[in-house]
Amino acid sequence: EGVMPDLATAHRNTPFCPILELAGRIQSRDKPVVDFSIGVPNFTPPQRVYDAAIAAIHADQCRYGPSRGEAGLIAAYLHYLAQLGQDHFGPVNIAVGQGGKHLLYSLFQVLFEPGDTVVIPAPCWPTYFDIARLSGVAVRTPYCGLHQGYKLDPATLEAALRGRVVALVLNNPSNPTGALYSQAELAALADVLRRHDVWIISDDVYQRFVYTDEPCPHLLDVAPDLASRIIKVDSISKLYGMPGWRAGLLAAPPEVAEAVTVLNSNSISNMPPMVAAAAAAALGGDQGFSQQMTHGYQARRDILLTAFDSAPQIRCARPGGAFYLFPDISRVFGSMHGKQMISTDEDLCNLLLEDYGVAAVPGRHFGAPDNIRLSYAIDADQVKTGARQILRCLAELE
């Protein structure tokens, strides 16, 4: 009989990545929208990146490459880390992957047993939940609200770590809130973490996009004594406007880097050599343009914050980095748009998309149904138009 056997439980129950799904839906519409949905930087990488990839192709670098990463890429990443003040890493600490998402997936495979519990403060990037589901890992999500700037505080962390917890995932600055932890805040969290024997996965894919003159504060700086438990996840995607290249790197204790490398050797085999060449060129050369991008993002953040100042239905925490704003829009719940009641984040996002030509992501995907997420890494004119349209929508609610 041709009866199909079942899929594995975890794979039956895991949804398609909600943000990619939404982005696909928006891109396939024929009406123009101001697209605040997906977090894609609106710039292209420097010419040297293209040159390096094309040179690799012309040099016929199309065999298998090393599972632990091309030497040139590792050297460029170590240089990048050293520029951030983290000069204690060497090649044994590094592993590569096909983007930050793939590295996080790999880490869940190599660090956790099914049934383990991981603490992930919310609001947070939805993929953490789905990677956990795919790995059979339970997630504990202490909610960190608007009044605390969407940031985890020591008491909340202490409470979340009760019982048997194996890891904390921290994302600084944060998608979806733009929240940026200061040195002092990280030091206070480190005091708690010292008392609990857990892995700390630091998702640093937005690390270069901070609206301060100092580099982004990092646990490795404030608590070097915890280095044997900290795993730093980096990605080329946001940093260099290269999300489609699928290149990420991590810096970790050697045992962790080795385990991820072994997993690579048995799964992806290697990062494509021309991608590795492009990533090395991006990380290795002048980084001035990422500074310029950050100034551009800060200006866009300010356009939105200034516009929303005049809207009593919207409450925002001021993002310190990344390129996301996460307005609390719960005050609109219960209002009417014509005959239609707006009761949820999804209702508001649908209304914005259908009637006002603005795409935003419902906060529920990030564990925060009182909010919507706006990714403002788009042209400044678009940001202005989008802000105007959102204000018009709110003014037309009764």
Region of 28-36, 95-103, 147-155, 212-220 interacting with ligand PLP (CB under 6 A): 95-103
Q: Whose CB is nearest to ligand PLP?
A: 99
- Residue 155 structure tokens: 């008491």
Q: Does 321 bind ligand PLP (CB under 6 A)?
A: no
Stretch that binds ligand PLP, among 56-64, 220-228, 235-243, 309-317 (CB under 6 A): 235-243
The alpha helices in 120-253, defined as continuous H runs, are: 127-135, 154-160, 183-194, 219-222, 236-239
From residue 33, give the alpha-carbon distance in Å to each of 28, 239, 356. 11, 25, 8
Contact pick of 41, 99, 273, 320 for ligand PLP (by CB under 6 A): 99
Rounded alpha-carbon distances, angstroms, from residue 352 to 133, 185, 337, 365, 383: 31, 36, 11, 17, 14
Residue 68 Rama label (left phi>0; alpha psi -120 to 50; beta): alpha
> Binding pattern to ligand PLP, positions 106-145, x when CB under 6 A?
-------------------x--------------------
Return d(Cα 381, Cα 243) in angstroms, integer.
23
Interacting residue with ligand PLP among 37, 68, 101, 276 (CB under 6 A): 101
44 φ, ψ (degrees, to nearest 5): -105, 155
| Range list of β-strands (E), 133-204 | 138-140, 167-171, 199-203
Nearer to ligand PLP, 229 or 238 (CB): 238
**Rounded distance between C-alpha atoms, residue 79 and residue 93, angstroms:** 13
The reply on whether position 205 binds ligand PLP by CB under 6 A is yes
36 binds ligand PLP (CB under 6 A): no
Determine if 178 is a binding residue for ligand PLP (CB under 6 A).
Answer: no
Spatial distance between the Cα atoms of 284 and 78, rounded to a whole number of angstroms: 9
Nearer Cβ to ligand PLP, position 157 or 250? 250
Determine the 3-state secondary structure of 252 from DSSP.
coil
Q: Contact with ligand PLP (CB under 6 A): which of 37, 235, 290, 382?
A: 235
Which CB atom, from 67 or from 202, has the smaller least distance to ligand PLP? Answer: 202
How far is 101 from 185, CA to CA, in rounded Å? 26
Q: What is the DSSP letter of 388?
A: H
Query: Smallest distance from the beta carbon of 33 to ligand PLP, in angstroms?
Result: 19
175 belongs to the binding site for ligand PLP (CB under 6 A): yes
Query: Can you tell me which of 203, 328, 345, 370 binds ligand PLP, judged by CB under 6 A?
Result: 203
For ligand PLP, the closer CB: 125 or 356: 125
Q: Does 248 bind ligand PLP (CB under 6 A)?
A: yes
Q: Give the DSSP letter of residue 15.
A: P
Distance CA 56, CA 254 (A): 29
- Closer of 130 and 356 to ligand PLP (Cβ): 130
297 contacts ligand PLP (rule: CB under 6 A)? no
> In the complex, which residues of this chain contact ligand PLP (CB under 6 A)?
39, 99-101, 125, 171, 175, 203, 205, 235, 237, 243, 248
